[in-house]
A and B are shown apart, each in its own frame.
Chain A
């Protein structure tokens, strides 16, 4: 399919972006069918029909595949449209339920138009819908019509991380008591294991505040002090929590997550911010459930 100029445009979105998305779509749908791993397996005629079927599902400009009919219309346009709608609307709905704050910021109409373009450009690669949309924040970052809302990508990153945290493996977080027994001289050598649910999103915008206001956790209000915030997303038990990290907190946690001992992580955090407060951060790390057990180096 080379005639991308003739494709329908979605109202309100830059035609250049839509043509680019259509080009992406065309390139993956028209890619030659990969040989199966099984080698000598004979190819069914129906495999080609399936290829035409899925290409037409995502692209309303393509004709209804020849192999299809109905007892009424010979070319069952409306009937095929039921499948088109199930696929595109179903996947758009899945994104809307995973990214509600993102939708609230841009409005439903804009969100659904953007999500539809993502669905056609990047359909799911797995039957696990819980992971669908992991690359949506990256798509938003490249999506020119949304570029003026500079913080939108980071809000979407928080929402994507929340779903991953929701489904992450269960693990018992470190409790404060277990640190009491440790000799003060060995504290600096402590290492921690990140909780399976824990993720950090760093932003140049007040992203935790913006997310909370659009997730119904804070009242919508003007933000007077517009400065960057880092988010910690974690699910120590069953509820996913989003916390704003204090100055140096993100570097401190990322160092700990990478396996650095406590003393080195604190030094890295102090490098990042002179306001870094080790005891407050350590207390915060424990109360957030972001780490599991400690090991002595």
Chain B
């Protein structure tokens, strides 16, 4: 048989087994627990019910959290794209290799530091009487305590901070892949540099923007540490609800249902969007 030919496939076995046993299978636990009933004493009873999902999808607090989560993710993605694009453009165009390496390093370094540390730093800076307060107070621009922490603004700042690096690298890659002779062609046909950018570079970089945005959006939706620390549980997003239900209240069924909803939104929905867009919108990419 072809067993001899395919014996190398066994190399992948450890990975496959590991994922099946400790990744796929546990995920099913969430699905299972989400339809159990909550019990304050036993945590859950093996009685099937839809009430958890009903709560997640209709209860005001939860619907609000879903809305918050989306809103934050959209705003963050928007800002990340705007802030990252020029940097990516500069990186893609720079002729000096040393500058490229140095800037790349400086952009990616903050990302490899744990997210607690960077969020902690923003807490220090954005605290009601923290650094930013002191600066604005010295300039007489503010009277009372600074109201950025415990609000969505603080979370937006923190999340944007964490996502810029990835977007820069993705966009930079997309921009470098644009055939330089296309710009030259546009120029000899009379396009000014600005026009060439608008008509050629920008449209051709859109697939990169799109895929980077998907990742940023998805990571922002499911982000936990940053919203927790900067919103200090006053701003409710889905991941915080999951945490509260599981770790504080021990309502595992409800937490599981919340997690399932988050999972469906993030993974399946975004995966689907990506697939559709890839097929329909960027057909000209496949040349």
Report if A and B associate in a common complex.
no
